[in-house]
Each structure stands twice: as structure tokens, then as C-alpha cells.
Amino acid sequence: MPNPPRFRWPIAKLYRPGLMLVVALKLSAGYSENAAAQRLSADENSVKAAFVYSFVKYAEWPEEQWNKSPTVRVCTTGARSPLSEALTALDPKLSVRGKELEIRAVVRPQDAVNCHILVLAGRERLADWARSIRQMPVLSIGESDGFAAGGGVIGFFIDGEKVRFEINNEAAQRAGLKLSSQLLKLARLVKDEPQGGR
């Protein structure tokens, strides 16, 4: 029996505002307990990459930061992580709000100053990164447990076998970002943990 085709969706053809977020939510809700572990892992990272793309439509940066580059700069740590690879696999001609996406790897926290989005890929907390970018007008997204409560803006988490996300709106405001109420309604909202929390 032939192997099932790889799980793919035509990201580049989905241009209507909000549609990518709906697609990502439906895909994340569509996993079954019988899904193969390898496929689940690949799909998880593809869904997260689709979310990252969608978040651009629901966030506003300070004008100076938004206009800093003719592209939307999505920077990532952990260049060899599955999520970084899923982001790199996005169509390079994919555009949002009149700008094409530019995926780039960064190796030092100070390099994030030229990014619109910083994806802290991997499961470790990366506390040094979170502290360094705390005041930067950068949308920080992480995969580690407690990332948003630890001062990041958006943190992914797995609910059963579904990809979900939580938002720390205090962190967004501290960074000078404004997140759409539509996005906030879809998220689990968290606040900064007191220093010394998990």
C-alpha cells in the first residue's frame, strides 16, 4: 500500500485576511489519536509556521519599526530546529500587508532589533533572549513552556494533540505592539509571572 501523501496546504494561494489563521486552527483541531507520530510532528511545525504568518495580519508595529525594511523580517533562533525549517519552507514570494516575508536566522539577541518577529524555536526557555528583547518592538514567539508568562508575547502549547497559543498582552504593549481583539479572542490570555516563577 503506498504511503499517504505529505500533509500540505496551498499557503501561497490563501490571500484573504484571517483565512490563514482559520486554516491553521482547523488543521490543528483535525488531528486524530491514530495519526502517525512522524506526521504529527511535521504537521505541528507546519501549523505553527502558518500561525506565525497569520499573526502578521493581526499585529501592529510602531511605524518606524514597520517601515524599517521593505520585507516582513521573521527571524528565528535554532536554525536547525523543526519549526525553523518549517518557516524556511514557506513560499519566499508569500506576502502579507504589501510586504514579502523574509526568513532569517539570528545568533545574538541584539540582532533581533532589525526583526519584526522573533521566533525562539526549540523547547528551552531561552531566558537571556527573552530578557534582551523585552523592550524591543519585536513580536516574540516561543515554543517553550511558560514562554508568554515569562515575558514573551505569544507562546505555543499543545492541548491534547492540537496546536494552541497563549498571549501575554502586557508583553505586547511593553514592546509597543498592538494585537487585534480578534486574535486575543482566539488565545489563552496570560500575564507576566512574578519574578522567580516557573
pLDDT at 68 > cutoff 80: yes
- Cα separation of 159 and 188, whole Å? 11
Per residue in 7-26, pLDDT (tens digit) is: 233 333 333 444 455 545 54
**Domains of the chain listed by start with CATH number:** 11-190 (3.40.50)
Instruction: Using alpha carbons, list the distances in angstroms from residue 27 to 20, 47, 124, 149, 154.
Output: 10, 7, 25, 26, 19
Q: Are strands 71-76 and 99-105 parallel, antiparallel or unpaired?
A: parallel
Q: Is 139 exposed, middle or buried (0-12, 13-18, 19+ CB in 10 A)?
A: buried
Range scoring the smallest mean pLDDT among 96-110, 116-130, 158-172: 116-130
Between residues 66 and 30, the one the model is more confident about: 66
Measure the CA angle with vertex 192, ends 141 and 20; round to 5°: 30
